[in-house]
Amino acid sequence: MMENYVVIGKFVSTFGLKGELVLEHHLGEEIDPLAIKVVFIEEKGGKFMPYFVSSAKIKSETELLITLEGIDAPEKGKMFLRKQIWLPENEVKLQASKNSPIALLGFTVYDQKNELGKVLEVIEQPMQVLLRVDFKGNEIFVPLNESTLIKIDHKKEKITVELPAGLLDIYIN
C-alpha cells in the first residue's frame, strides 16, 4: 500500500553557519519538533525522497529550525529553499495541533445531513480554508469560512457545512 503524503510547509531560508533550514509549517503551535525524524521532498516523477533530521527546534509558532543529515553549511542548505516539505498523513495527524486546519485531514464533511466525503487535503488561503473532498468519485473543493461552517466535531471527526447554492452542481455536471 502506498503511503499518502501531505504538504506541511516549505523551507524558506537558511539560518546560521551550520546549514540549518527554516521550515515554515502549517502544523500549529503545539508541534513536538523532536518527533520529526524524517521529512520528504517530492522529486521528479512523483517520488518522495526522505531526508533525515538530525536536529529540530521551534523558532516561532509557524517556524522550525531543522538540520538535515549531511547538510552542514548554508551553501548546501540553499538547494532546499522553496521546496515543499511532506510528511506521511498518519504523522501529520499526530503532529498537528487540534486547532490547526491541517488537523481536519480525514474528517468527514456533511452538507447539513448529507455526507459529502472525506477530507483529502486542506488548502489554507488568506480568507478561508478549502477542503479537497472525494464526493462520489468526483473531486470537489468545499470552502470553509464564517458563512459556510456550521460545526466541527473533533471527537466524531465530522465537519458540518452549508454549501453555497449550486456549488455541488458545478462539480457533478
Calculate the alpha carbon distances from 4 to 39, 80, 93, 104, 106 in Å. Answer: 13, 22, 12, 15, 11
> Any idea which fold 5-95 has?
Elongation Factor Tu (Ef-tu); domain 3 (2.40.30)
* CATH number at 106-172: 2.30.30.240
To the nearest 10°, the Cα dihedral for 80, 84, 85, 86? -140
Tell me what pLDDT residue 108 has: 92
Could you tell me if 27 and 8 are in contact, meaning their C-beta atoms sit under 8 angstroms apart? yes
Tell me what pLDDT residue 2 has: 47
Tens-digit pLDDT profile for residues 51-72: 999 999 989 888 999 999 999 9
pTM of the model: 0.71
5-95 and 106-172 agree in CATH topology: no
More confident residue, 2 or 43: 43
Closest CA to 105 of 36, 2, 7, 1: 7
pLDDT band at residue 20 under the 50/70/90 scheme:
very high
For the chain, give every domain's residue range: 5-95, 106-172
pLDDT band at residue 22 under the 50/70/90 scheme:
very high
Of the segments 66-70, 96-100, 109-113, which one has the largest average pLDDT value?
66-70
Tell me what pLDDT residue 159 has: 92
